[in-house]
């Protein structure tokens, strides 16, 4: 999974996005952004910004060799998974020093975990740190815009996002010293425990433990699922998919269907291979569990009269 994780080895946020200091104007004006300052472990110039997702590309470099604060625009080359959305992401980083931009150029790509640049104190910085702001989607126009308070803020297709809605903390990568009062979500590093069960009757899959939650798919009798948690009469079979526990059994049936997950953003379900689209529970959201009942050419049968294109399953 292409998670977006916090990009520093030590989190030491010295200014959040809604304090009384210089960041306040960033989210009082219109449009807003939600920057944080992080100086890594200490006031020394020793913290790097690491590529926080599978791949990022440099879209723009500004200010190097001038008195303006040096600024770097990074954009993910594919959609990333964050605690609140699945989309492209843009990050602007301010204050690295002129010398540390040496060798960096627009179009350059970085893989997850690679060092991109060292923190600095270029511009009006009071000490070595990164000033970072995140936007959902791709950069729009020049990648920033002067807001109604006269402050330059990040500009992306889907707008600025708060750091806790953008970054997970990977505890295997980042040591948390100071969150700046922001509540982040941690990536689960240990695999979750589960019990294997089987579906006894075609049942709805929902985004929560109750019939008030949206039904997004159905699984046929015989589907093998992993049950991670059970709450009242509902069982969680993935990070966010729930089914009624009344239609699950631990007894292995004669006919067992293994599952795959959808990789398309929205995957159409059809009545027959390459046939008419069904109206119910279609398209399937990204990362939905489906049963593999049969395959025919490039098509996979996921339930009675429900077929999807096999290339979008993994």
Binding site for Zn ion (CB under 5 A): 37, 131
Could you tell me how far CA 119 lies from the centroid of its own chain? 24
Q: Which is nearer to Zn ion, 37 or 75 (CB)?
A: 37
Do residues 185 and 174 make contact, with C-beta atoms less than 8 angstroms apart?
no
Backbone angles phi, psi at 165, to 5 degrees: -90, -5
Tokens 């993935």 sit on residue: 238
In the complex, least distance from residue 21 CB atom to Zn ion, rounded to whole angstroms? 8
In the complex, least distance from residue 96 CB atom to Zn ion, rounded to whole angstroms? 13
Q: Which is nearer to Zn ion, 180 or 222 (CB)?
A: 180
The structure tokens listed for 194 are 């589960």
User: CB under 8 Å to 4, separation ≥6 — which residues?
Assistant: 52, 53, 76, 80, 81, 82, 89, 166, 167, 168
Q: Which is nearer to Zn ion, 37 or 100 (CB)?
A: 37
Q: Which is nearer to Zn ion, 89 or 132 (CB)?
A: 132
Burial (CB count within 10 angstroms: exposed 0-12, middle 13-18, buried 19+), residue 35:
buried
In the complex, least distance from residue 26 CB atom to Zn ion, rounded to whole angstroms? 8
Tell me how far apart the alpha carbons of residues 117 and 104 are, in angstroms, rounded to a whole number. Answer: 9
Q: Which is nearer to Zn ion, 131 or 206 (CB)?
A: 131
In the complex, least distance from residue 268 CB atom to Zn ion, rounded to whole angstroms? 45
Burial (CB count within 10 angstroms: exposed 0-12, middle 13-18, buried 19+), residue 164:
buried
Tell me how far apart the alpha carbons of residues 70 and 101 are, in angstroms, rounded to a whole number. Answer: 9
Q: Which is nearer to Zn ion, 147 or 218 (CB)?
A: 147
C-alpha dist (Å) from residue 241 to 97, 168, 193, 286: 46, 20, 16, 12
In the complex, least distance from residue 130 CB atom to Zn ion, rounded to whole angstroms? 8
Tell me how far apart the alpha carbons of residues 61 and 143 are, in angstroms, rounded to a whole number. Answer: 11
Q: Which is nearer to Zn ion, 145 or 264 (CB)?
A: 145
Tell me how far apart the alpha carbons of residues 121 and 92 are, in angstroms, rounded to a whole number. Answer: 15
Q: Which is nearer to Zn ion, 37 or 54 (CB)?
A: 37
Strands 89-94 and 71-76: antiparallel
In the complex, least distance from residue 133 CB atom to Zn ion, rounded to whole angstroms? 9
In the complex, least distance from residue 23 CB atom to Zn ion, rounded to whole angstroms? 6
In the complex, least distance from residue 163 CB atom to Zn ion, rounded to whole angstroms? 12
């Amino acid at each position: 999974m292409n998670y977006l994780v916090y990009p520093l080895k030590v989190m030491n946020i010295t200014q959040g996005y809604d304090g009384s200091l210089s960041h306040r104007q960033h989210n009082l004006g219109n449009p807003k952004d939600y920057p944080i300052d992080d100086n890594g472990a200490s006031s020394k110039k020793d913290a790097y910004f690491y590529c926080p997702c599978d791949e990022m590309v440099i879209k723009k470099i500004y200010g190097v060799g001038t008195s303006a604060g040096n600024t770097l625009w990074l954009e993910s080359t594919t959609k990333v998974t964050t605690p609140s959305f699945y989309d492209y992401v843009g990050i602007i980083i301010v204050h690295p020093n002129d010398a540390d931009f040496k060798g960096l150029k627009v179009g350059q790509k970085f893989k997850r975990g690679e060092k991109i640049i060292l923190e600095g104190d270029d511009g009006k910085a009071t000490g070595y740190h990164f000033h970072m702001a995140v936007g959902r989607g791709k950069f729009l126009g020049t990648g920033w815009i002067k807001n109604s308070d006269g402050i330059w803020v990040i500009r992306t297709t889907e707008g600025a996002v708060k750091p806790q809605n953008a970054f997970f903390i990977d505890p295997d990568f980042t040591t948390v010293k100071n969150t700046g009062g922001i509540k982040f979500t941690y990536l689960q590093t240990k695999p979750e425990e589960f019990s294997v069960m089987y579906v006894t009757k075609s049942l709805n899959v929902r985004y929560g433990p109750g019939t008030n939650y949206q039904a997004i798919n159905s699984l046929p009798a015989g589907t093998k699922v992993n049950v991670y948690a059970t709450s009242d009469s509902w069982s969680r079979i993935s990070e966010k998919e729930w089914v009624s526990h009344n239609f699950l059994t631990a007894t292995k049936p004669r006919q067992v269907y293994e599952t795959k997950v959808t990789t398309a953003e929205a995957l159409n379900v059809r009545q027959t291979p390459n046939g008419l689209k069904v109206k119910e529970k279609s398209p399937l959201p990204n990362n939905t569990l489906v049963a593999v009942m049969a395959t025919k050419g490039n098509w996979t049968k996921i339930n009675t009269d429900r077929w999807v294109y096999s290339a979008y399953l993994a």
